[in-house]
Structure 1
Amino acid sequence: MTEAQDTVRLWLVPDQRSGRAPAELLAVLDPGERLRAEAYRSAVDRRRFVLAHAAVRCILARRLGVGPEEIRWRRGPHGKPELAGRCTGVEVNLSHSDAVAMVALSASRRVGVDVQRVLPRLDATAMAERYFPPEEARFVRAAADPDARADRFARLWARKEALVKAHGGRLTQGLRIPLHDSSTGSGSHPDDDWSRGYRVTDVPAPRGYRAAVALSGTGAFRVALHRWTWPDRSGQPADPTRARTRNT
């Protein structure tokens, strides 16, 4: 397999806790993104939104050789953002949960990424019974304590949402696809046969979070892990000199 076609690159985007979002990052967002940022009542939530969405633009800008503000988006049938205009040629996806965001980039395969904060106060058993197939609900319920149940629930939810985001479908459709024992969907329901054409794997996440990435196609791929932070006033993030990699 070739590195360009079979490596998905992931960037962890942590909250930098620097007060307001840097004006330089806000400036690279499009008008719609700025309106969405301004709609947040919390300055913390606003900063995290700006960091995550500017990170996508800066990462793509470096890859495509354009300015971050030149990136354009369109919405897929179920609302998934996709590259539009002249700045195309790669597949990208963003997820953010509380203080953590992740960006996934693939050269050719449709990609979805999801990060979930583990919520110990969540009634994970009830949520699993409501949304997951019976065998996965039993798996969540069988955990030893509420923290473990919340962890299992977050792990499965991240896998399912990553799969749905790669496909571009509805979350309600993906939640019923069993992903406990298999890295690809089982297609156990006739309407879920599309899930056979994807591969899903867990990826490292900060303490208290679970994350997963999904790619179209069932061939193995490598995951290269990076960390993105706002480094200076240039508008271009510095890629790590060495990225951790893992095979799946």
Structure 2
Amino acid sequence: MGTITNRYLNEVHWQQPGDPKLRVTGNAVHVWRICISKNLKRLEQFEALLNPEETLRAGRYKQQKDTYRFIISRGMQRIILGRYLDLLPAALQFVLGDNKKPHVVGNNGDTIHYNLSHSGDWILLAIAASPIGTDVEFIDNNFSFRDILPDNFSNDEIAYINHDNAAERFFTLWTRKEAILKATGQGLGEHLQLTPSLDGEHTLSRSVIGADKNWQLNSFLVNPGYIGSVAAEDAGQFFLFFDANT
């Protein structure tokens, strides 16, 4: 049986990448944070990178903020992933793999795994050489999360949440569940309750995809008011954190 090791990182150093060419090899995991409001000035640059299908998709959103978020998200994905694959951003082709997980195949045949999440003003992009999953959430103190606890959390998890800073505790555990299920391609539903999210090492239920592997999951503040989690295949991953904002 596989395991998942959950931990909270109290200190995360968001750095600017120095080398324009980047690589993820072995046990490296790169985590990028992208602020939507700080990148609105680059909308035209990002929009110029989209292919016709992406341009049509951006135009289908009913709210302008969702259109802007999609353009910035996809444009940044193209720029950042292009640095790993030595490809021009506009040349990247996004395809669906197993369990409908998107990935990009480089011109040399190498595949990098990535996963993206967004909430409010922030986007989180995680990149690795093996399966990866991420989730970011705005810590909304007005969200009635207690209504969904029994169906999605274990008794121990519910007891942990029902203390001081309950909203932050809830969203921390929620992002962990989302991150591992996205990494495996499992999807949500009944598996949320079966996915352990408390700190420490846990055995995975046989019903969860990827239960035969070992996973490492790190949670951290993306920015004040935003919690993020990243799940990576195999324990002992080396995480680096990058800020994509100028």
If the TM-score is normalised by the length of the shorter chain, which range does it land in?
Answer: 0.7 to 0.9
- Written as runs of structure 1 = structure 2, the 5 A alignment for 1:168-247 is 168-176=185-193, 177-183=195-201, 185-187=202-204, 189-192=205-208, 194-195=210-211, 196-218=213-235, 220-229=236-245
Alignment partner, residue 118 of structure 1: 139
Deviations 1:198-222 (A, max 9, x none): 211113311111101111112x122
Q: Which of 139, 143, 149 is matched with 2:163 structurally?
A: 143
Alignment partner, residue 58 of structure 2: 37
Residue 127 (str. 1) matches residue 161 (str. 2): no
8 A contact 1:125–1:149 mirrored in 2: no
Size of the aligned set, in residue pairs, is 221
* Cα distance change on mapping 1:170 and 1:49 into 2, 3 Å: same
Shift of 1:109: 1.8
Which of the pair has the greater relative contact order for Cα pairs under 8 Å at 6+ separation?
2
Residue 153 (str. 1) matches residue 175 (str. 2): no
The separation in 1 between residues aligned to 2:141 and 2:240, in whole angstroms, is: 30
Give the TM-score normalised by the residue count of structure 1: 0.80
2:122 maps to amino acid? V
Shift of 1:56: 1.1
Shift of 1:25: 0.5
8 A contact 2:85–2:106 mirrored in 1: no
SS for the counterpart of 1:165 is helix
Deviations 1:49-83 (A, max 9, x none): 21112111101111111111111122234432122
CA RMSD of aligned residues (A): 2.4
Alignment partner, residue 122 of structure 2: 100
Alignment partner, residue 6 of structure 2: none
8 A contact 1:76–1:168 mirrored in 2: no
Alignment partner, residue 166 of structure 1: 183
Shift of 1:186: 2.3
* Cα distance change on mapping 1:228 and 1:169 into 2, 3 Å: same
The separation in 2 between residues aligned to 1:180 and 1:33, in whole angstroms, is: 38
Deviations 1:64-110 (A, max 9, x none): 1111111112223443212247474211111111110011111x221
Q: Which of 82, 103, 114 is matched with 2:103 structurally?
A: 82
Shift of 1:172: 2.0
Alignment partner, residue 13 of structure 2: none
1:54 maps to amino acid? G
* Cα distance change on mapping 1:39 and 1:20 into 2, 3 Å: farther
The separation in 2 between residues aligned to 1:171 and 1:158, in whole angstroms, is: 12
* Cα distance change on mapping 1:22 and 1:181 into 2, 3 Å: closer
Shift of 1:224: 0.9
Alignment partner, residue 21 of structure 2: none
1:82 maps to amino acid? H
The structure where strand makes up a greater share of residues is 2
8 A contact 2:117–2:136 mirrored in 1: yes
1:43 maps to amino acid? Q
The separation in 2 between residues aligned to 1:27 and 1:154, in whole angstroms, is: 35
Unaligned runs of 5+ in 1: 232-248
* Cα distance change on mapping 1:19 and 1:10 into 2, 3 Å: closer
Q: How many percent identity over aligned positions?
A: 25
8 A contact 1:26–1:34 mirrored in 2: yes
